Amino acid sequence: MYSHIAGQFQHMPRATSFPCSQRGVALVSVLLIVAILLAVTSRLMATHNLVINQHQNTFEQNQALQYAFGAETLARQALYVDFNTTGQDVDHMGELWAQQTMPFELDEGGFLEAQLRDLNGCLNINGVVGSDPKTAKKRFKQLLQNLSLPLQIADTWTDWVDGDDVLTGFGAEDSEYLIAQPAYRTPNHIVADISELYLLQNIEREQLDILLPHICLLPIADSQLNINTINAQTLASLDSALSLETAQSIAEADRSYANVQEFTTAFPDFAATASALSVTSEYFLLHAQAQVGSSSVTLQSLLHRDVSSGNVTVLRRDFGKLFRSNLTLDIEES
């Protein structure tokens, strides 16, 4: 029986072998493995490049930040040196701190530009809550009139910073701002940042663009204007009897008056406003921009120079202000 079955198996056809198909399967397997390895490698390379770019951006950002701080230190040093060398009794636009400087080229591939503004040369509108608010508000309105801007801006600003909730003229108190979306309140004290003017009721951005170059906000309400650095519009706002033409002729000339009396002797029309004038400055605004590679940092610092020691202190820093260069170049055409 067993031999009979064995004979049947001997007569059955043998299984057919497929050597070419086996090689194809092996080739597909190898290609699949290579594709997986390539995908994994590409993913690793992409992650590696991302990490490198992140570290490079972080490094460039930190470098730009340090350069901006360097500009601040340089400005403080310039103000201190000016106090101790050129004289602590007079500040004018011919001194080192007031000179325009070309952007510095940086070794890492970029530039650094800085500009310093004398805040005692513009109208401090926090004065509307100072020791003589009536006079301060009158001068603010005179400035608005000279700039052809609505006088109600002065009323609105007064209500924004005064400590009561009583409407001033055409101003606006909390009742006006609480119905806004979102609602907000007036601060009812002196303001530190000029951007708060954009929150005022009934004031347009175009109007602020005209006004902002002539005003500033100091951390004190009572301050004096440096006649050696004051601009024409601010100078003309001191009294309604003063003409803008006279103020412009004074502002366009080089000034280095040693004292207020010397100035009022030369221009008797300003004698009545002598108490608001000075020949020195305490507050300065530094604005710097540092560019390293593709990273950029802007820094705005409020600086205070002590009138007795000359020490310069940083009162506030702001990294969110857009930098606009005020550099002007004289180009001669042949």
Query: Rounded to two decimals, what is the model's pTM?
Result: 0.80
Higher pLDDT, 329 or 288: 288
pLDDT band for position 70 (cuts 50, 70, 90): very high
User: Is 260 a domain residue?
Assistant: no
Statement to judge: residues 237 and 147 lie in one domain: yes
Specify whether 184 is located in the same domain as 237: yes
Q: How many domains does the chain have?
A: 2
Q: Does residue 224 form part of some domain?
A: no
In tens, the pLDDT along 173-231 reads 999 999 988 999 999 999 999 999 999 988 999 999 999 999 999 999 999 999 999 99
Is 108 contained in some domain? Answer: yes
- pLDDT at residue number 320: 87
Same domain, 271 and 175: yes
**Is residue 306 in a domain?**
yes
For strands 295-305 and 312-318, give the pairing: antiparallel
Query: Is 1 domain-assigned?
Result: no
User: Does 78 map to a domain?
Assistant: yes
Residue 54: per-residue pLDDT: 64
CATH code assigned at 292? 3.30.1300.30
Tens digit of pLDDT for each residue in 238-247?
988 888 999 9
Residue 295's domain comprises: 51-120+282-318
Tell which residue, 73, 92, 71, 72, has the closest CA to residue 82: 92
Residues 203 and 177 in one domain: yes
Burial call 239-254: b when 16+ CB within 10 Å, e when fewer: beebeeeebeebbeee
| Spatial separation of the C-alpha atoms in residues 160 and 203, rounded to whole Å | 13
pLDDT tens by residue, 267-297: 999 999 999 999 999 999 999 999 998 889 9
For residues 56-79, give the mean pLDDT: 90
Is 7 inside any structural domain?
no
pLDDT band at 331 (very low <50, low <70, confident <90, very high): very low
Quick one: how far is CA 319 from the chain centroid?
6
Neighbours of 163 (CB within 10 A): 9
How far is the C-alpha of 180 from the C-alpha of 104, rounded, in Å?
46
Q: Does 178 share its domain with 129? A: yes
Domain-embedded: residue 187: yes
Question: Which CATH number do you get for residue 168?
Answer: 1.10.40.60
Could you give the CA distance from residue 21 to residue 225 in angstroms, rounded to a whole number? 96
